[in-house]
A and B are shown apart, each in its own frame.
Chain A
Amino acid sequence: MAKYLLLKHYRGAPAPANDVPMDRWTPEEISAHMQYMHDFAARLEKTGEFVDGQALAPEGAWVRYDGEGRPPVTDGPFAETKDLIAGWMVIDVDGYERAVELAGELSAAPGAGGKPIHEWLEVRPFLTAPPTITE
């Protein structure tokens, strides 16, 4: 088994095919989208492939140590050009192919007009603890 992170982006991903900002969807379309994501997670829980999932607020800042006795520096809210992560889901699946298959399904969540968004999702394998045998 291997864990993968599926990342959704507010910004920074390539434009989806059904590229309508969420604030121009109908409330029903938004509900349908949320329901799809919820059902997806619930289904993975049943298959024993779900580990964790959270949505992130769009606010965020870069923070840096600024020397002894000084408060950390922040650069304030993310600027328009920055990559912005909207949320994640961690899955624990048999292999990379299954991770890609599931990311594909998640990307088919309905958007404007009830059509799939074709949203780009990032799939990243976890670095794991070392297996017993590496020699």
Chain B
Amino acid sequence: MDEALLRSLTPSVLAVLVRRGADFAAAEDAVQDALVEAVRVWPSDMPREPKGWLVTVAWRRFLDATRADAARRRREGLVEEEPAPGPSPAVDDTLQLYFLCAHPSLTPSSAVALTLRAVGGLTTRQIARAYLVPEATMAQRISRAKRTLAGNGVTRAPGKTEAGRRFDRPGDVATVLRVLYLVFNEGYSGDVDLAAEAIRLTRQVAALVDHPEAAGLLALMLLHHARRPARTASDGSLVPLAEQDRGRWDTEAITEGVAILQAALARDRLGEFQAQAAIAALHADAPTAEETDWVQIVEWYDELAGLTDNPVVRLNRAVAVGEADGPRAGLAALAALDPSLPRHAAVAAYLHERDGDPVAAARLYAEAAHKAPDLAERDHLTRQAARLNARRPR
């Protein structure tokens, strides 16, 4: 039984049903039924057209369920329109599914869960384990998302409502890309690597959508992911960029990411993801930390600051300025920012240390550790403070 094949077919089968006018929740139930049937039948009787088989079975299930409904007469017309089974053009259908899952009426967490389930083909249990919540909680989150979509009439009339809309506005793509970026940033725990899953899905979107930001996001994910093996030591502690063993970076992923980015930049429609990917590429490109082209990185941060009002960008820019023009310049850039920003104290500590003030740096590292949002970062910052304090006579 080829589970990977089933998983890869799931979204396009679901998309066909939705395009034919099935309510999203009903379509999903029907597809789940068809998958169960496939697991039962295929090992002894593999169909020649697996996708066509799934569409046919799922559509029958959907019609069976619909016929039993009170809305029977109204929907029976759909039977007449039933297209012949067999392969159908999947491209636009799958895109519509992405758009549906990233619908603005969903909260970010619901959009992420629904995307993983409907487009990624993950089971509710897998998603629940990745997010460390009970399966019942995740099941409710997903069915709530489906109800929200149904409640908005989003999927009811194909071709007329938003489900029938094509990906032709940059805003639509932006919503989908944001959802995928959220998935990527969740990292991983349990048996599903959400970062790898996000890359797989973004790869699909980038292949289907002619938009430089889709390519930009794919490049960004590849470049970050390439450095992941070097980001933590074997004991789980954080390794800062400058100290990472660059031999452990995935050069193939870096090469691919850079090539995708260059093709995207050549189209001259700059966006946030492309600019972030450009910064990641400059880091990935340096043979050693000392050879990093900080001047160019500052220029990209300036571009990025023009594209987004995210204050974290300006904080990162202050770090880059500190490297390009010295710690004093970095501290001056930092002084213009709100001290309550996340990681503000950590950046200040680093710049003060480089400026030759270990006392202020140790105090700020300790303050930053107190505010750190995750364990690895807290431990890392605590060690930095301890390292500086150990050098001073008690």
Contacts and interface: CB of A to CB of B under 8 A. Distances in A.
The judgment on whether A and B are partners is yes
A81 interface: no
Nearest to A50: B137
Contacts of A47: 140-141, 144
B137 A131 contact: no
Interface in B203-243: 224-225, 227-228, 231-232, 238, 241
Interface in B157-209: 184-187, 189, 195
Contact of A48 (B138, B375, B376): B138
A48 B238 CA distance: 32
B341 to A, nearest CB: 14
Contact of B189 (A52, A129, A134): A129
A51 B134 contact: yes
A57 interface: no
B184 A132 contact: yes
B107 interface: yes
A46 B110 CA distance: 13
Given A46-B140, A47-B140, A48-B141, A131 B133 contact: no
Contacts of B224: 132-133
Interface residues of B, number: 38
B223 to A, nearest CB: 10
Interface string B119-160: 000000000000111101110111010000000000000000
Contacts of B189: 129
Nearest to B181: A133
Q: Is the interface of A mostly helix, strand, loop or mixed?
A: loop
B377 interface: yes
B137 A94 contact: no
A45 interface: yes
Contacts of B140: 45-48
Contacts of B88: none
29 contacts: A1-B109, A1-B131, A45-B137, A45-B140, A46-B140, A46-B144, A48-B109, A49-B141, A50-B133, A51-B133, A51-B137, A92-B131, A127-B373, A127-B374, A127-B375, A128-B373, A128-B375, A129-B375, A129-B376, A130-B238, A130-B374, A130-B376, A131-B185, A131-B187, A132-B186, A133-B185, A134-B377, A135-B227, A135-B283
Given A1-B131, A128-B375, 14 more contacts: A45-B136, A46-B140, A48-B110, A48-B140, A48-B141, A92-B137, A94-B108, A125-B373, A127-B372, A130-B232, A130-B375, A132-B184, A132-B186, A132-B225
Interface of A: 1, 3, 45-52, 92, 94, 125, 127-135
